[in-house]
Amino acid sequence: MEKDSMGEMEVPADAYYGASTQRAVLNFPISGQPFPRRFIRALGIIKKAAAQTNRELGLLARRRARAITAAAQEVIDGKLDAQFPIDIYQTGSGTSTNTNANEVIANRATEILGRERGSRVIHPNDHVNLGQSSNDVIPSAIQLSAAMAIDEELIPALDQLRKALEAKSREFWPIVKTGRTHLQDATPIRLGQEFKGYAGQMEESIRRARGAIDELSRIPLGGTAVGTGLNSHPQYARSAAARLAKATGLPVKETPNHFHAQATLDAVVAAHGALRTIATSLWKIGSDIRLMGTGPIAGLGELRLPETQPGSSIMPGKVNPVIIESMLMVIARVYGNDLTVLVSGQSGSLFELNVMMPVAGVATLESITLLAASVRNFSERCVTGLQATDRGPELVERSPMLATALNPVIGYDEAAKIAKESIRTGRSIRQLARGRGVSESTLTKVLDLGKMTKPGLEGPGGG
């Protein structure tokens, strides 16, 4: 038997959680999905920092602080994950899960002191939750867990893909192919230049991911119920944030405005906006590579994608771009999560508290985890194994857009006529220009494909 402010409640005999947690388990039989490991870890880090800070400030006895710190460390290490059974679709402030953590840590700390769990030698509210409220702990845990996930999972995966794309850029640099705008032929481009563009997208994605960490690192911890800091020491927030920064290696600091930080999910909305932009960059890269790999006979066929598995149960020898397809599905999920976070931030922010925090936090963590895994998979099982075919160089010689290089020689209007005649007759630009009296030496100079892939007015026109 355990008890809380509402009375007694039966809990499983082996449970560290108490009556309030059990009530929440019964009240929210929604999805069967509890908070993920990363969030529980962040919650443990916060509770540990709080105990150490309160001990330093003289608010918590040394013996109790040590026991709470040890119990919180077990939460951090994942030893007590089974003790966090509450569904994510619960009270919008996440109070049930904060109370869950308080009860688990209190009972485990009581055991560490050699006393019987449930005896409240260490009280979940008076000791573990000292100087805190669910209203500042839960958003801080959301932001902290997301920042750590970006730092530990997403950025390394993006950097791995960046390096793979840069390697392919160098490998493909000698290959000149037809550029495309509006899905129509354009002036020549190096295949390596296209991949340099993709690598640049990953450089920007890493910068945006770091910006998201900066957004998330200004936490509302210390504002307690409504941002005023009631029942917390004036130095608590700054000291606890410093401990969190040391524990995570991230630039964690107290928010300069607790009323804003607790009343909204603006930081999470902004951070997920960066994830959405990263996902959009990945969509472009994956789609381009998939299109260049279409065929092998009836498509563009400029790239040969790695053969990872049979592509059909009926068509022998068929190979599909399945790694890219899996990544695009992840991106679709990220877009859905972005809308969830946006609606949570918009609709859940009422007066002094946002009341859609749990789903926004879980959606953000899912986006980070899925993006990191799919980016790593895309890098390892697709990009590194890409091969260029002869198709690109073959097609560029027949491209009517080579007429662009004739602009400085015969003018735009005449060059346009040649381009249209090339499309209509299938004859090459070189043949048609020669028929209009352009000298062979001039053609050799202006139709130098390599020079057409860089700026210039002398010789090939930049277009």
pLDDT given for residue 395 in this prediction: 86
pLDDT score recorded for residue 428:
86
- Residue 462's pLDDT is 43
Cα separation, 358 vs 34, in Å, equals 10
- Residue type at 162? R
Whether the Cβ atoms of residue 45 and residue 219 lie closer than 8 Å to each other: no
> So which residues are the catalytic ones?
182, 312
pLDDT at 458: 52
Angle at alpha carbon of residue 183, lines to 180 and 189, rounded to 5°: 10
Q: Are 134 and 174 in contact (CB under 8 A)?
A: no
The pLDDT score that the predictor gives to residue 460 is 47
Please give the torsion angle defined by the CA atoms of residues 10, 358, 371 and 242, in that order, rounded to the nearest 10 degrees. Answer: -100
Rounded CA gap, 283 and 275, in Å? 12
With b meaning 16 or more CB within 10 Å and e meaning fewer, what string describes 85-116?
bbbbebbbbbbbbbbbbbbbbbbbbbbbbeee
Query: Coil, strand or helix: which one is 221?
Result: coil
Q: Report the candidate in 337, 320, 331 with the shortest Cα–Cα distance to residue 282.
A: 331
Which position has the token pair 């592509």?
A: 311
- Is the separation of the CB atoms in 263 and 227 below 8 Å? yes
Delineate the domains of the chain, giving CATH numbers in brackets. 2-130 (1.10.275.10), 136-391 (1.20.200.10), 397-453 (1.10.40.30)
d(CA 374, CA 41): 23
pLDDT in tens for each of the 463 residues of the chain?
988 889 999 999 999 999 999 999 999 999 999 999 999 999 999 999 999 999 999 999 999 999 999 999 999 999 999 999 999 999 999 999 999 999 999 999 999 999 999 899 999 999 999 999 999 999 999 999 999 999 999 999 999 999 999 999 999 999 999 999 999 988 899 999 999 999 999 999 999 999 999 999 999 999 999 999 999 999 999 999 999 999 999 999 999 999 999 999 999 999 999 999 999 999 999 999 999 999 988 999 999 999 988 877 788 888 899 999 999 999 999 999 999 999 999 999 999 999 999 999 999 999 999 999 999 999 999 999 999 999 999 888 788 888 888 888 999 998 899 989 988 998 888 888 898 889 988 988 888 888 888 887 554 444 4
**What was the pLDDT predicted at 372?**
98
What confidence score (pLDDT) does residue 405 get?
85
> What gap in Å lies between CA 25 and CA 86, rounded to an integer?
5
β 353-354/349-350 pair status: antiparallel
CA distance 250 to 142: 14
- 230-282 pLDDT per residue, tens: 999 999 999 999 999 999 999 999 999 999 999 999 999 999 999 999 999 99
Residue 463, pLDDT score:
41
Whole-angstrom Cα distance, residue 158 to residue 139? 26
pLDDT in the model for residue 359 = 98
Task: Please name which of 170, 360, 181 lies closest in space to residue 265, comparing C-alpha atoms.
Answer: 360
- First-residue to last-residue Cα distance in the chain: 80
pLDDT score recorded for residue 314: 80
Residue in the structure block whose two tokens are 């070189």: 430
Residues 92 and 135 sit within 8 Å (Cβ to Cβ): no
Amino acid letter, 381: R
State the amino acid at position 361 in one-letter form.
G
Pairing of strands 253-254, 218-219: parallel
**Cis bond upstream, residue 234 (ω within 30):** no
**Which pLDDT does position 449 carry in this prediction?**
85
pLDDT of 459 reads: 47
